[in-house]
């Protein structure tokens, strides 16, 4: 790790100004991802701006909306009584992430911005368009068991790692920011980007723009929610596949369905066709099977991750089967 300067501002605008005027600067919240990236050589910054003391950690409910400050710790949000009662899919996703020690340190904003665990990205000896644009993607023909079957391409197939982001995508959350040009609100649908031919551009943030909060509408009473994470071990492991479901039903009939998927794509993934197939019809095993087929219809598995095509369909069956009473 190279030497860097350090600053710890006390106001959000001060933090924004420090980073915005230095192209070599970066924010640091809990530091659980950034410091590892810098040690691995995947990122280098001449200035690190510590935002962990900024007054952005409140969790509030106003007018049927839940607002979570970006500096709130993962553990605190997961165990917050409103989150556990009204948005259990969010609590479940947070508790499925990392380890208790990391959840006590890591922040909501930092979790959304964590970078892929692809070993080619984090290993300086390998070609990686995400780390060094134009050098190639070693994962395409390398060890790609963990990599994406959806949303990738010829430049990058790295999976986005955040459990939280998958749950927020299913909840139609918004991300609130403060930047050099003022405040913005970005939908989760637009926040993370597919790699295309610019895999190093991972999200919609501009340089110097700080996440201040995320916000979700509290689901209607009776909405069924679940986060299922399939992983190689029970703790401190990233998803092989995951499903976040927010489904409102009238008996066995689906009024609305929002489903997001992790572990299979280059960003938190949703399928409009899948959700349309579910709406206004009964939740039967045949319907669930058709939804699984729609989800993976355009999948592009590689030599080591073809198993994800079937695994994510089985995960979807498990989640929706419990809602219908027909899980096996």
Q: How many domains does the chain have?
A: 1
Question: What is the C-alpha to C-alpha distance for residues 215 and 259, in angstroms, rounded to an integer?
Answer: 18
CA neighbor of 291 nearest in space, from 323, 259, 248, 250: 259
> Across-strand partners of 184?
177
Asked if the structure places residue 97 within a domain, the reply is no
Instruction: Give yes or no for a contact between 74 and 97, defined as CB atoms under 8 angstroms apart.
Output: yes
Helix (DSSP H) and strand (DSSP E) numbers for the chain: 13, 12
Mean pLDDT, residues 234-245 taken together: 94
Which two three-digit tokens encode residue 15?
A: 């933090």
Asked if the structure places residue 77 within a domain, the reply is no
Asked if the structure places residue 262 within a domain, the reply is yes
Asked if the structure places residue 302 within a domain, the reply is yes
Percent of the chain exceeding pLDDT 70 equals: 99
Q: What are phi and psi of 270, to 5 degrees?
A: -130, 155
pLDDT of residue 236: 87
Instruction: Give yes or no for a contact between 26 and 40, defined as CB atoms under 8 angstroms apart.
Output: no
pLDDT of residue 326: 46
Mean pLDDT, residues 250-254 taken together: 91
Q: Residue 118: is its pLDDT beyond 90?
A: yes
8-48 tens-digit pLDDT: 999 999 999 999 999 999 999 999 999 999 999 999 999 99
168-222 tens-digit pLDDT: 999 999 999 999 999 999 999 999 999 999 999 999 999 999 999 999 999 999 9
Asked if the structure places residue 15 within a domain, the reply is no
Q: What CATH number did the domain enclosing 282 receive?
A: 3.30.390.50
Mean pLDDT, residues 93-117 taken together: 96
Q: Residue 256: is its pLDDT beyond 90?
A: yes
What domain range is 278 assigned to?
Answer: 224-324
Asked if the structure places residue 243 within a domain, the reply is yes
Question: What is the C-alpha to C-alpha distance for residues 192 and 219, in angstroms, rounded to an integer?
Answer: 23
* 327 band by pLDDT with thresholds 50, 70 and 90: very low
- The side-by-side arrangement of strands in the sheet containing 174-179 is 59-62, 65-69, 210-217, 174-179, 182-187
Asked if the structure places residue 307 within a domain, the reply is yes
263-315 tens-digit pLDDT: 999 999 999 999 999 999 999 999 999 999 999 999 999 999 999 999 999 99
Instruction: Give yes or no for a contact between 211 and 175, defined as CB atoms under 8 angstroms apart.
Output: yes
Asked if the structure places residue 162 within a domain, the reply is no
Instruction: Give yes or no for a contact between 231 and 238, defined as CB atoms under 8 angstroms apart.
Output: yes
Q: By mean pLDDT, which of 45-49, 71-75, 170-174, 247-251 is the weakest?
A: 247-251
* 234 band by pLDDT with thresholds 50, 70 and 90: confident
């Amino acid at each position: 790790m190279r030497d860097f300067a350090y600053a710890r501002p006390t106001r959000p605008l001060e933090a924004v100004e420090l980073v915005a005027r230095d192209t070599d600067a970066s924010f640091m919240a809990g530091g659980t991802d950034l410091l590892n990236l810098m040690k691995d050589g995947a990122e280098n910054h001449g200035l690190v701006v510590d935002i962990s003391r900024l007054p952005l950690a409140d969790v509030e409910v106003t007018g049927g909306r839940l607002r979570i400050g970006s500096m709130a710790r993962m553990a605190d949000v997961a165990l917050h009584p409103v989150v556990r009662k009204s948005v259990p899919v969010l609590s479940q996703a947070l508790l499925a992430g990392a380890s208790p020690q990391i959840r006590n340190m890591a922040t909501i904003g930092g979790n959304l911005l964590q970078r892929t665990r692809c070993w080619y990205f984090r290993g300086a000896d390998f070609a990686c368009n995400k780390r060094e644009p134009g050098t190639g993607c070693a994962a395409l023909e390398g060890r790609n068991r963990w990599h994406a079957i959806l949303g990738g391409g010829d430049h990058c197939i790295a999976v986005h790692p955040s459990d939280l982001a998958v749950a927020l995508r299913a909840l139609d959350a918004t991300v609130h920011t403060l930047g050099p040009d003022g405040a913005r609100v970005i939908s989760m649908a637009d926040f993370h980007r597919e790699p295309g031919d610019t895999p190093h551009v991972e999200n919609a943030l501009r340089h110097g723009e700080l996440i201040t909060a995320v916000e979700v509408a509290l689901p209607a009473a009776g909405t069924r929610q679940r986060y299922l994470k399939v992983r190689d071990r029970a703790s401190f492991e990233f998803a092989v596949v995951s499903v976040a479901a927010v489904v409102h039903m009238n008996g066995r009939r689906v009024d609305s369905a929002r489903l997001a998927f992790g572990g299979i794509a280059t960003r938190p993934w949703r399928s409009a066709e899948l959700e349309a197939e579910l709406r206004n019809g009964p939740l039967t095993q045949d319907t669930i099977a058709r939804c699984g087929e729609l989800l993976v219809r355009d999948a592009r598995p590689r030599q080591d991750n073809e198993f994800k095509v079937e695994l994510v369909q089985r995960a979807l069956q498990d989640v929706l089967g419990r809602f219908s009473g027909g899980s096996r």
